[in-house]
Structure 1
Amino acid sequence: MSARVDVLVVGAGLAGLECARRLGESGASVLLADRKPAVDHAVHTTGIFVRRTLESFALPDDCLGPPVRRVALYSPRGRSMTLQSPHDEYRVGRMGPLYRRALDDCLRAGVEWAPSTSLAALEPDAGGSVATLERGGRRERLPVRFVVGADGAVSRVGAALGLDENRVWIVGVEEVFRGVSTGHEPAFHCWIDPEVAPGYIAWVVDDGEEVHVGVGGYASRFRPAEALRRFQARVAPRFGLAGAIPCERRGGRIPVGGVLPRIACARGLLTGDAAGAVSPLTAGGLDPCLRLSSVAAEVTADFLATGDESALARYDGATLRARFHTRLVIRRMLAAVRSPAAAELACAALRLPPFRAVAQHVFFGRGSFPDVAPRRDAAVPAIALHPLRPA
């Protein structure tokens, strides 16, 4: 491990990988640390990429499933409504291969990779921070100029830096089936049922190559594993899953309280789930993760180059949060729907033309996350680099 680095990125999910690669390409010395032994170990996200993300980011095509243009909404009693788009709206990422590819890109950019490494402590220092990293029972203290917290909804980096923390989240759990032919057109099937998925949805995503079956909701109002078992029994006959063996189980917390107001300070910043960069309405986090991480890398590079904290002022969570006011209001309305009867009425309303248009916009709209790329100054000094050196 290096004797000193410019940036320590904690967390090698999509946010950490994106930020680390961009910083490595900018010329900074970067250490990417994750407590997992490999980036494709224990993947949490369903991996649904929306059209806007696919248009904006060069994701490897061989790490994406077939396009999905159809969404089917189901009420608690199973009454359905189908929405069809003329565009390729969704593609399900093969997240293990995608993470491995992203890590290869990081290594080519000069990023140092530290698997099976956790952040034990983060202390202020005249040059930034001293991080205590733990690996294999051994601890090492590492001076770092800046820390990027990409370590999930409950961020140790955020807590150590005194930044804001997520307080509102749902819990999702799903199982992935491969080699199962459902015989259906590729579609995103969503059940609105507060008994199975309180405050969120249950889903079957079938792209013709993989079938993802999952539930999500407020943890205080259901038992995720039990809800998933009951939901799978309910949908197995429809999708030919009876007796099928899942190849993977995923799950975790999903913050839905909106972007946190304070996500940066002179010692570091947060991105991805750690920053609350998830749509409060849909709980979609991949598009916000990539967009915010690209800005985080740019802001960090500017700060390293100038030492001027005004570069960090542009990374303002409160400004972003203001743009999510309507979605936060709708999130609170969804949380208030607690009975199947109320959900049945809501689904009936969605079948009426005005509300159907709203549903169409929610699932096929392109406003997933605001463009937040900051303007760079005309002249930015070269980054004062600390080259990677053997420990």
Structure 2
Amino acid sequence: MSAGWDTDVLVVGAGLAGLHVATLLAGRGHAVSVVDKRADLGRSIRTTGIFVRRTLDDFPLPAGHLGPPIRQVALYPPSLRRPVVLVSGRDEFRVGDMPGLYAAFAARAREAGAQVLLGTRYAGYADGAAQLVGGDGAPSVVRARFVVGADGARSRVARDLHLDRNERLLVGAEEVFPSAGTEVPTFHCVLHPRLAPGYLGWVVDDGEHVHLGTAGYASRYPEGVWRALRELTAVAPGLPSRPTDVERRGGPIPVGGLLRRISSRRGLLVGDAAGAVSPLTAGGLDPCLRLSEHAADALDEALTTGDPSALRSYDGAALRRRFRGRVAMRRSMGLVRSPAAMEAAFTALRTTPGQRAARSIFFADRSFPLPAPV
């Protein structure tokens, strides 16, 4: 690792959000460096990798790293009786091979001209200089005009830039293993206030892989999220024989909505670091890609004009207003604390208006709200 270098933009975190903004900026001729403490991007994955139709329509994701399409969603109450089944006439979801997608996005960034340094830990930023530590423990200093925090829900870059940080978090746990094959790829969702407090448990089986998971508020898992996942495994609907060799994933999920202060004269936040996750569905892959494009536009203007005030257009407070309804629904879900209450509330989903609302949530044409083009 070199003793130091200069760059226009230092991106901290080589997830999809960070790699996408790096690719866009490098493609516009700016010097971009990406660092990630992971030596292998296929390790320590924290996302289920579910892509919704709007993302698949609007972004050139490599088809070879996407599973078969899913059109069917089954919603179960805690009793697992009489699920509400929703079927779309369109391909609504595809589950990504996340190690393969990370590798593909990293390759795109390098091809665009970005420097991608794995096994490199970010140790802080002040006065235009970022402190890095290589895999061999050797420190270096990078002088960067701007820093992009793509370093997750508990972003250190957010702290260093004195920006907002996520406070409302779910915790998730998931196991991934090969599918035994299924005639109808299905997204099974279990609403259970004890095994998935404030959110849901899921079994996504697309015929190639099974993703079995749960997420909820950490304080309401009395014995921890992994214990709840083991209990869910015993009752999960549509679950094929589970092998002993599984991939395990887990981590925090911000659900408080987009943060208000996500930029300063020194840089900005993208992805989970910015709270760019749907408060209601906890889906973050569509928001991370869309917000990264908005971030790239703001940074490009600041770099081209030499005026850091251009980053003011990257305003979380202005966008946050469009999340009020979803934040309110998220809080309503969190109020249901007993399985009996959830069973009673679930009856509304069996009505025509309830199923219409559920279809709107799962099969909506909406995407992450961004400013209208000027």
Task: Name the TM-score class by shorter chain.
Answer: over 0.9
Superposed CA deviations along residues 212-267 of structure 1, whole A, max 9, x for unmatched, are 0000000111111101111112228x42224x134311111000000000000010
* Structure-to-structure mapping, 1:178-197, within 5 angstroms: 178=178, 180-197=179-196
Distance in 2 separating the partners of 1:184 and 1:217: 30
- Shift, 1:324, TM fit: 0.3
1:86-235 → structure 2 map (5 Å cutoff): 86-124=89-127, 129-135=128-134, 136-178=136-178, 180-222=179-221, 223-235=224-236
Structure 1: which amino acid aligns with 2:62? P
> What is the one-letter code of the residue matched to 1:232?
T
**Counterpart contact for 1:279–1:368, Cα < 8 Å:** no
Q: Which residue of 1 aligns with 2:250?
A: 251
Q: Deviations over 1:287-327 (max 9, x none)?
A: 00000001111111110111223421211100110000000
Q: Which amino acid aligns with 2:170?
A: I
SS at match of 2:215: strand
Relative to structure 1, is the Cα distance of residues 37 and 373 closer, same or farther in structure 2, using a 3 angstrom cutoff? farther
TM-score (normalised: structure 2):
0.96
State yes or no: 1:350 paired with 2:353. Answer: no
For residue 321 of structure 1, what is the amino acid of its counterpart? R
Aligned-partner residue type, residue 159 of structure 1: R
Partner residue in 2 for 1:389: none
Structure 1 residue 357, shift from structure 2 partner: 0.4
Counterpart secondary structure, 1:288: helix
For residue 141 of structure 1, report the CA deviation from its aligned partner: 1.3
C-alpha contact 1:295 1:374 (8 A) present in aligned 2: no
1:374 to partner: Cα distance: 4.9
3-state SS of paired residue (2:143): strand
Distance 1:133 1:20, change over 3 A: same
Q: CA deviation at 1:373?
A: 6.0
1:172, 1:247 → 2: CA distance?
A: 16
Q: Helix, strand or coil: the match of 2:257?
A: coil
| Residue identity in the other structure for 1:235 | A
Q: C-alpha separation between the residues in 2 aligned to 1:22 and 1:247?
A: 35
Alpha-carbon contact 1:292-1:372 (below 8 Å) kept: no
Match of 1:67 among 66, 69, 72: 69
Structure 1 position 164, deviation (Å): 0.4
Q: CA separation in 2, counterparts of 1:267 and 1:333?
A: 37
Corresponding residue for residue 3 of structure 1: 5
What amino acid does structure 2 have at the position aligned with 1:172?
G
How many equivalent residue pairs? 368
Gapped regions of structure 2 (runs ≥ 5): none
Counterparts of 1:322 and 1:231, CA distance in 2: 36
TM-score, L = length of structure 1: 0.92
Kept in 2, the 8 Å contact 1:123–1:130? The answer is yes
Two-structure CA RMSD over aligned residues (Å)? 1.3
1:69-101 alpha-carbon deviations (Å, 9 max, x no partner): 000000000121100000000000011111101
Query: Does the 8 Å contact 1:175/1:246 carry over to 2?
Result: no
Shift of 1:184: 4.3
Instruction: Give the letter aligned to residue 340 of structure 2.
Output: A
The answer to whether the 8 Å contact 2:173/2:213 transfers is yes
Amino acid at match of 1:138: A
SS in 1 for 2:236: helix
> Quick one: distance in 2 between partners of 1:41 and 1:183?
27
Task: Check whether the contact 1:176–1:246 (CA below 8 A) recurs between aligned residues.
Answer: no
Contact 1:177 1:245 in 2 (8 A): no
The corresponding residue for 1:82 is 85
Identity %: 51
Counterparts of 2:43 and 2:364, CA distance in 1: 32
